[in-house]
Structure formats: C-alpha cells, structure tokens
Amino acid sequence: MNVDQLIDGILEQDTRAIARGISIIENRSPQAETILRRIYARTGRARIVGVTGAPGSGKSTLVDRLIAQYRQADLRVAVLAIDPSSPFTGGAILGDRIRMQAHGVDPGTYIRSMATRGHLGGLARAAVDALSILDAAGFQIILVETVGVGQDEVEVAKTADITMVVLVPGMGDDIQTMKAGLMEISDLFVINKADRDGVPRVERELQALLSLTDRSDDWTPAIVKTIALESVGLEDLVSAIDQFFAFMKTSPRRTERQRERTAARLRELLQERLLKTALQVGNAEGEFDALVKRVSAKELDPYTAIEMLMPKLERRPIEDGVGKF
C-alpha cells in the first residue's frame, strides 16, 4: 500500500488502512505528516467523547456499553483507549480487549489501544493525530478512554468535544482533591457503580464542588448515574451527551473553543519545529553538546549557556527557509 492508497483506504473506511495509518502515526514514520496534511480537510465531523476517571471506575465497561447504544442507533463508533501505565491497572489491557471483543467483528466499530510509553513528541500529540485519522475515516462517534491522572491524559481530554469524568461511590474525600484542572474540563459526570452504597454522598459532594466552578460557557455539567455492568442508565448517558452537543451548537463559546484548541495545536507544532531547528542549527558544530558538558561540570550556568547559543540562531539567514526566531 503506497501513501495514496493508504489515504484513499482511510477515507473509504477500510479497517486495514485505518490501522496502518495509526501505526504510522505512532511510529512517527516519514509518511505521517503527508497523511495528516492530506486528510485534514476531511476531519471535524466526528463527535469526540473523552471518557476519563480513576483506575477501575468502569470506563472500559461504560465505553463498551456506549458502543452498543450507538450501534443500535446505526452510528459508526471508534474507540481510542489510552492504556493506563500504572502498575495497578496495567493488567486491565487484556481484560479490555476481551470485553470489547463483542464488537470486534462489526465493521461499524473500530477499537484501538495506544501505549502511554515511548511516544516521540508525546502521547497527546500521537493521540490527537490518531483521532484525525478516525475522524477522516467517517466514524461519527469517537470514544477516547484515558485514566485521569497524568498531564498527558488531561491534554488528550482537552482535545475531546465533550469530556465525561467517571466517579464511583465511596470515593470519599477523593472528590475534594480531584484535580482542579480536571474539574474545569468536565462537561459531564457519571456516577458509575450506582449499585453500590454511597451514591447520594458522591452526588452531594459533586454538586457542592460544581457550585464553586465557574464556566465561561454557562453550561451546567449533568450528573448521570449508571450501573455499567448491567447497562443501567445508558440511555440517560447518551441523552446527556446529546444535550451537551445541542447546547454547544448554539453556544457563542463554540467557535472560541474551537479556536483555542486550534491555537494550542499550532503552538505545540511550532514549539516542536522550532526546537528541532534550533537544535540542528545550534549544534551544527557541536556547540550545544559542548555547552551541555560545561553546564554539567558547573563551569557555566544554564541561563548563560542559552544566551551564548542565541546569537547563532538569530544570525541564521531567512533564505534557507527558517527565518529568524
């Protein structure tokens, strides 16, 4: 499969091409950029639903049940599961595969795991690019499962159109310590394992916390109770997701949110590109490495080292395509 065939395959919703495309992105192979450039115009139609929450809160079970709901409505659904790397949950990956297998042969669903480790350019970057592939491939719903612990995961959640946070009864004071960052990006809360004791308490604490959170778009995050294992509350969850999209459609914040995301993405790409160029230019004669040695040996402080490198970067002529920075 050459790049043209691969891109055509992705746009024609061919599972093998989609899988290849995502692998190319994961490995940051040279074709990655070509693919991403060429499919960009075809993205922006999918509803990207981020599912985050503590390890074991039932995210995968919920995702699995959501697939069933959306398939019933005849929507094509993709899942991007960002594997938890924590040693407590590392073993869940196999379980996830088995549980989600029920949909494995359905061409209207596509499920993909991405490893948290070993991504050049960061996990968030690889995940966002993989989302573009799934979006261009015409999946109407893309569910992204992340464990709400690390910065990378919060970054991924930020790229979703809607982020739901899965909580469970008995979290006790954990809700109070829930990352402020996570609170801000949560559009919807799910209290899963509602078959357990302590639902009213989590709900109360959540409401108290919500009353303190000020959202610029005036959306009031819904709280939905589910028993994922028994598919209880799933219709409510789907309709809460729909309501959010309906709200966003008319919200003046929508364009703004879109622009913020685009700006963040461009900034990230720019940063990556400038750093790469700077290191190439700055180290053409081994200057960067020499400075590293001197700073490590405490002969020089890092701030002075950078000041010593800057003139070299600034002298770089514009003609060779890089310009001044």
Query: Least CB distance from residue 107 to ligand GTP, whole Å?
Result: 24
Query: Least CB distance from residue 130 to ligand GTP, whole Å?
Result: 18
One-character DSSP codes across 49-75: EEEEESTTSSHHHHHHHHHHHHHHTT-
Q: What does 163 bind: ligand GTP, Mg ion, none (CB cut-off 5 to 8 Å by kind)?
A: none
Contact between 102 and ligand GTP by CB under 6 A: the answer reads no
From 47, 59, 119, 316, residue interacting with ligand GTP (rule: CB under 6 A): 59
Contact between 228 and ligand GTP by CB under 6 A: the answer reads yes
Closest alpha carbon to 5 in 135, 18, 130, 26: 18
Spatial separation of the C-alpha atoms in residues 146 and 153, rounded to whole Å: 6
Is the backbone of residue 146 left (phi > 0), alpha (psi -120 to 50) or beta? beta
**Sign of the C-alpha dihedral computed for residues 34, 40, 43 and 49 taken in this order:** positive
Structure token digits, residue 27: 């490995």
Determine the interface stretch with ligand GTP among 16-24, 206-214, 221-229, 258-266 (rule: CB under 6 A).
Answer: 221-229
Q: Which amino acid is at 170?
A: G
Q: How far is CA 4 from the centre of its chain?
A: 27
Q: Which is nearer to ligand GTP, 144 or 281 (CB)?
A: 144
What DSSP element (H or E) covers 191?
Answer: strand 188-191
Residues near Mg ion (CB under 5 A): 59-60
Query: Least CB distance from residue 147 to Mg ion, whole Å?
Result: 8
Q: What does 229 bind: ligand GTP, Mg ion, none (CB cut-off 5 to 8 Å by kind)?
A: ligand GTP
Task: Specify the length of the chain in residues.
Answer: 325
Contact between 169 and ligand GTP by CB under 6 A: the answer reads no
Tell me the angle at which helices 15-26 and 123-136 cross, rounded to the nearest 10 degrees.
160
Contact between 52 and ligand GTP by CB under 6 A: the answer reads no
Q: Which is nearer to Mg ion, 51 or 136 (CB)?
A: 51
Q: Are 243 and 209 in contact (CB under 8 A)?
A: no
Determine the interface stretch with ligand GTP among 36-44, 156-164, 179-187, 189-197 (rule: CB under 6 A).
Answer: 189-197
Q: Are 8 and 103 in contact (CB under 8 A)?
A: no
From 19, 42, 55, 122, residue interacting with ligand GTP (rule: CB under 6 A): 55
Determine the interface stretch with ligand GTP among 67-75, 104-112, 187-195, 307-315 (rule: CB under 6 A).
Answer: 187-195
Spatial separation of the C-alpha atoms in residues 150 and 38, rounded to whole Å: 31
Spatial separation of the C-alpha atoms in residues 318 and 325, rounded to whole Å: 10
Spatial separation of the C-alpha atoms in residues 67 and 70, rounded to whole Å: 5
Contact between 146 and ligand GTP by CB under 6 A: the answer reads no
From 80, 92, 111, 141, residue interacting with ligand GTP (rule: CB under 6 A): 92
- Ranked by CB distance to Mg ion, the top (closest) residue is 60
From 116, 163, 186, 192, residue interacting with ligand GTP (rule: CB under 6 A): 192
Contact between 61 and ligand GTP by CB under 6 A: the answer reads yes
Contact between 56 and ligand GTP by CB under 6 A: the answer reads yes
Residues binding ligand GTP: number (CB under 6 A)? 20
Q: How far is CA 71 from the centre of its chain?
A: 22
Interface ranges with ligand GTP (CB under 6 A):
53, 55-61, 84, 89, 92, 95, 147, 192-193, 195-196, 227-229
